[in-house]
Structure 1
Amino acid sequence: MTTNRIRSVVALATLAVLALTALPRGASAQPWLPEDGDTPFGGKPGMHLFLPSGFLESIRESRLTMARTRYFQAAYRKAVNRGEYVRALACTDSLIYLAEHRPIQGVRPTACYQKRAWVLHALHRDKEACAAYDLAVKVRNSAMRFEQTETIREMQASYELDRLALDKALLSARHHKIALVSLSLLLLAAGAAVAFIYAGNRRTKQLQQELLRQMEQGRKSEERKNAFINSICHEVRTPLNSIAGFSELLCADEVSPEAHDQYCQIIHESRRQLRYLFEDMLEVSYLENLTEPLPRSYLNLCALCRSQLRAMKIRCPKTGVAYADGIPAETIAVVSSEKYLGVLLSALLGNAYKFTREGHIRLECGREGDERVYIAVTDTGCGIPPEKYDQAFERFTKLDPFSQGNGLGLYLCRLIVRHLGGEIRIDPEYTEGTRIVVVLPRK
């Protein structure tokens, strides 16, 4: 009984297939549409989906559409495999209908149109196949344009975002730069303020030290000035007293001729001392205020030294003291001031004469290289201690307060040497007295 029933079902299916294949080729397959009386969930008992009443309608429709899509895709594959192109065309049209009304994940309208064109070509409906291919191309181009538009829009949005990010970064960099410049300026201002304060403090300390030094120099100068005034008073009073006293004696009637000559000699010596004293003071005052170079001319240094030494021998002879010279016989031509070189030599020889009790006083000169000459005055007097070498050339300085003089001799020598562009020093290697060396340029 069961076998007969199976045979009858197979026969009915075969007849149905034959009937479908016997249909005319010009008839077009129709897409599947819901029929009257179908349920909202598919209408067919095999496609009914049970969904809880709590789900949204859109979710239900999406699941229903996905179920239909899977059904038509499976039906299309089976129809193609069996060669049932009419049924495959109907499934393709159904897929196109679903895809056109609602986007379906995994289903592209372009692919559906291409499948439809292929099926129409298989059914020898080439004109419709060309139209389907043309539609597929248009849909593909439209999709590509849409994708390109979306891509361009996304790129524009990305560009705008990047531009905004770049502007933000530039603005942030500008703020950082401004902050860095402001900080640098602040640090520079702080550094300048610190440097200014440091320089001010250092300058203040220097001024304080200079003020202390000037005060010390002023105190010493005041002391030297007082000593100079006292010395001048003493030096002036002594010859004046001699001149006044012996002048009164000369006026007396009982003066013998021998005493008269002696008194005249004393008056003459006192007058000479006064003259030298005031000449030294005037020369010091002149040279201290001189701003222009001294007048110079060509002269023979050796001849000038010989004449000054000869005048010293005649003017200031001293028992037990011999004058010697180390002056070369040749001619040493120099461009200098003859007047002040004479004053220099006279002051150096006079200083040696004053402090030498016995021995010799030696004057020498010569060349020192091709551009300079030297003058040296050597004596065998009491000498100068090494620690007082610099002090000996200061103004109003008297190393022996009980000796004659005004403390201007060596100071005048230093002024003259400076104005002539040379240097003066005490030879530390000579220990038998004092040796003063003057070095001058030849021109």
Structure 2
Amino acid sequence: MIRKLLRLLLLLGIFVSNATASDSIPLWQKAQEATESGDYEEAYQIYQELSRQRDSIYQQVYGEEIEDLRSVYQIDELKLQNKQHANRLLSYFIGGALFLSIAVLICLFVFRRQNKKLTISRQKLEEAKMLAEESVKNKSLFLSNMSHEVRTPLNALSGFSNILSMEGIDNDTIRECDEIIRLNSDLLLKLINDVVDISCIDLEHMAFNISSCDAVALCKYVVQTMEKIKHTQADILFHSELDSLTINTDSSRLQQVLINLIVNASKFTKQGQIVLSLEQKDKEAYFAVTDTGCGIAPELHSRLFGRFEKLDEKAQGTGLGLSICRLIIRRLGGDIQIDSSYTDGARFVFTHPLAERSDV
């Protein structure tokens, strides 16, 4: 702006100097004198010369001003184009970055999803492998146990049947042989029943015969029956403060559980007591079978309810009894476990809902 003013002042100075005659009298003063003297034609020509010089000066000033404005406009236009170009490049860069980010996110999502599917497939494969190995192991244990367990009572049946066919044996020997044959027949029948039970209870849609039952009366009947056929010197007792307790259950299955628990206790309790107890806790019946036998080591508790698990290889049985008990109790809506806090023998406890469970 200051530069423009200085240029204008310089041109005005040139105009003033050009408007001065050779005798150093300004043209405008001559025009004024000519006007005063009545020489209007000369005054007109002088004014025309002044107007021409002024127009020339203004034309020069405005021309330079226009050139300056044109230069400024061109510079601004170049700046605007550069800015637009930079904005375009920035937009391309941001768009490319967003596209790459979205592509990377999609790739990560697909990768994680595939990795998750692969992990699940590996887990399923590992589970199937473990189930297959467990199945093979169970089959081997089953065949081994059954070959041993079945051979023992069959040998007894065969041997003592031959004795009965001999001549000259006395009545005491006959009664003893009959007793041994009966016991081994019962043992063989129990082995077969265990195998049938474990195969039937595993069926997902097997229906239980649920009806109303007095648990106290059922427990008393089981204890009286087991006391008559026991193979131990230990007393089998029942204890409960309840006169009666009505529950909805499959009485034959519940009786089977109680008998299995008492039979297991009698195997390891040669003397002392085996006590079946019953009490009510909230909306559940609470059963317990407690013995004063040798007990079970804590490190073996986790194996108790496994199939074909025999903690004492010398004891009779297939190792299916406790497994069958757990299957039955869980189907009836309860649960069974060993009481690890009891140290004077072994105590198995299980719960049973008073009302029928909807999915039984």
TM-score category of the 2 structures, normalised to the smaller one? 0.7 to 0.9
Question: Structure 1 residue 94: deviation in Å?
Answer: 1.7
1:253 match: 167
For 2:248 and 2:229, locate their aligned partners in 1 and report how far apart those are by CA, in whole Å: 28
1:291 match: 205
For 1:422 and 1:155, locate their aligned partners in 2 and report how far apart those are by CA, in whole Å: 94
Q: Per-residue CA shift, 1:193-248, capped at 9, x if unaligned?
A: 65357547755775686577557x53xx5455434323322222222222222222
1:179 match: 96
Aligned residue runs from structure 1 range 91-106, under 5 A:
91-98=46-53, 104-105=59-60
Range 174-183 or range 430-439, more displaced: 174-183
Instruction: Work out whether residues 305 and 327 of structure 1, in 8 Å CA contact, stay in contact via their aligned partners in 2.
Output: no
- The amino acid of 1:288's aligned partner reads D
Of residues 216, 221, 225, the one that matches 1:307 is 221
| Structure 2 CA distance for partners of 1:325 and 1:90, relative to 1, 3 Å | same
For 1:105 and 1:77, locate their aligned partners in 2 and report how far apart those are by CA, in whole Å: 25
What's the secondary structure of 1:389's corresponding residue? helix
Aligned residue runs from structure 1 range 25-104, under 5 A:
69-71=18-20, 74-76=26-28, 84=36, 86=40, 89-98=44-53, 104=59
For 2:245 and 2:19, locate their aligned partners in 1 and report how far apart those are by CA, in whole Å: 133
| Structure 2 CA distance for partners of 1:171 and 1:106, relative to 1, 3 Å | closer
Matched, 1:356 2:269: yes
For 1:103 and 1:284, locate their aligned partners in 2 and report how far apart those are by CA, in whole Å: 119
Of residues 246, 255, 258, the one that matches 1:333 is 246
What's the secondary structure of 1:304's corresponding residue? helix
Range 157-166 or range 235-244, more displaced: 157-166
Q: Per-residue CA shift, 1:28-67, capped at 9, x if unaligned?
A: xxxxxxxxxxxxxxxxxxxxxxxxxxxxxxxxxx9xx958
Q: Per-residue CA shift, 1:129-170, capped at 9, x if unaligned?
A: xxxxxxxxxxxxxxxxxx9xxx9x999999988986786466
For 2:117 and 2:129, locate their aligned partners in 1 and report how far apart those are by CA, in whole Å: 18
Instruction: Work out whether residues 382 and 433 of structure 1, in 8 Å CA contact, stay in contact via their aligned partners in 2.
Output: yes
Instruction: Work out whether residues 66 and 104 of structure 1, in 8 Å CA contact, stay in contact via their aligned partners in 2.
Output: no
Question: Structure 1 residue 427: deviation in Å?
Answer: 0.5
What's the secondary structure of 1:238's corresponding residue? helix
| Equivalenced residues, count | 333
2:324 match: 412
Instruction: Work out whether residues 75 and 88 of structure 1, in 8 Å CA contact, stay in contact via their aligned partners in 2.
Output: no
| Structure 1: gaps spanning 5 or more residues | 1-61, 109-146
Matched, 1:401 2:313: yes
Of residues 322, 326, 348, the one that matches 1:436 is 348
What's the secondary structure of 2:20's corresponding residue? helix
Q: Per-residue CA shift, 1:51-89, capped at 9, x if unaligned?
A: xxxxxxxxxxx9xx9588533894215755998495665
TM-score under structure 2 length normalisation: 0.77
What's the secondary structure of 1:236's corresponding residue? helix
Matched, 1:422 2:334: yes
For 1:295 and 1:77, locate their aligned partners in 2 and report how far apart those are by CA, in whole Å: 140
Report which of the two structures shows the higher radius of gyration computed on alpha carbons: 1
2:8 match: none
For 1:107 and 1:382, locate their aligned partners in 2 and report how far apart those are by CA, in whole Å: 123
Instruction: Work out whether residues 215 and 246 of structure 2, in 8 Å CA contact, stay in contact via their aligned partners in 1.
Output: yes
- The amino acid of 1:279's aligned partner reads N
For 2:34 and 2:351, locate their aligned partners in 1 and report how far apart those are by CA, in whole Å: 135
- The amino acid of 1:184's aligned partner reads S
- The amino acid of 2:239's aligned partner reads G
TM-score under structure 1 length normalisation: 0.64
- The amino acid of 2:105's aligned partner reads L
Instruction: Work out whether residues 15 and 54 of structure 2, in 8 Å CA contact, stay in contact via their aligned partners in 1.
Output: no
Q: Per-residue CA shift, 1:235-289, capped at 9, x if unaligned?
A: 2222222222222222333122222222222211111111111111101110112
What's the secondary structure of 2:28's corresponding residue? helix
Instruction: Work out whether residues 293 and 419 of structure 1, in 8 Å CA contact, stay in contact via their aligned partners in 2.
Output: no
What's the secondary structure of 1:358's corresponding residue? coil
Aligned residue runs from structure 1 range 4-403, under 5 A:
69-71=18-20, 74-76=26-28, 84=36, 86=40, 89-98=44-53, 104-105=59-60, 168=85, 171-192=88-109, 195=112, 199=116, 202=119, 206=123, 210=127, 213-214=130-131, 217-218=133-134, 222-292=136-206, 294-316=208-230, 318-319=232-233, 321-369=234-282, 371-403=283-315
For 1:384 and 1:90, locate their aligned partners in 2 and report how far apart those are by CA, in whole Å: 142
For 1:165 and 1:242, locate their aligned partners in 2 and report how far apart those are by CA, in whole Å: 108
RMSD over aligned Cα, in angstroms?
3.8
Higher relative contact order (CA 8 A, sep 6+): 2
